Amino acid sequence: MKKLDRIDRHLLALLQQDARLTSHELAERVGLSPSPCARRIRRLEQQRLIQRYRAELDRERLGLGMTVFVHVKLSRHQDALVEAFEAAVADMPEVIECHTVSGAFDYLLQIVSADLKGYERWVRQLQTLPMVNTVDSSFAIRAVKRAGALDLRDARPSDDES
């Protein structure tokens, strides 16, 4: 697999900020002509370094201004229960993000809902899962930085298949 050069990194950085830039605009900014520029982008897509393109919506304007970070501990850690928990969580549309984490808790989740009522509905639903032990809610008061772009300075593609 090829190493990323300065231009590839530049393209990724630009597309991270605005996926609607045309090949011509991108070409100007990185100092290339549109053709090789489009080609490099196609390669980045095929290498899956670019996963997908998506529209980013405004939560506040959509009336989905409530963000909650939830720490969860399970009571039993048998494989089947862990998998059931993760599958259930992945299927809940209110769950924007979920990671297993080190430390005092097993999972950290980010929940988005319209209001407290919606959040309570979700928590109730979560509590019905039998392997859930503790649920610790921390409400987001204000977003200082949201959906920041990845810092590509240290990025080096791992050699996977195509």
Partner DNA sequence: ACCCATATTGGCAGACCATGCCAATATTTT
Partner DNA sequence: AAAATATTGGCATGGTCTGCCAATATGGGT
CB nearer to a copy of itself: pick between 128 and 145 = 145
- Taking CB under 8 A as the binding criterion, the range among 12-20, 29-37, 73-81, 124-132 that sits at the site for a copy of itself is 12-20
Residue 92 burial by Cβ neighbours in a 10 Å radius (0-12, 13-18, 19+): middle
* Binding status of residue 130 toward DNA by CB under 7 A: no
Residue 159 to residues 7, 16, 40, 49, Cα–Cα distance (Å) = 19, 22, 17, 11
- Taking CB under 8 A as the binding criterion, the range among 28-36, 73-81, 94-102, 124-132 that sits at the site for a copy of itself is 94-102
* Binding status of residue 39 toward DNA by CB under 7 A: yes
* Binding status of residue 24 toward DNA by CB under 7 A: yes
Nearest residue to 87 (alpha-carbon basis) of 124, 129, 51: 129
Amino acid present at 69: F
Enclosing H/E stretch for 124: helix 116-127
* Binding status of residue 55 toward a copy of itself by CB under 8 A: yes
* Binding status of residue 46 toward DNA by CB under 7 A: no
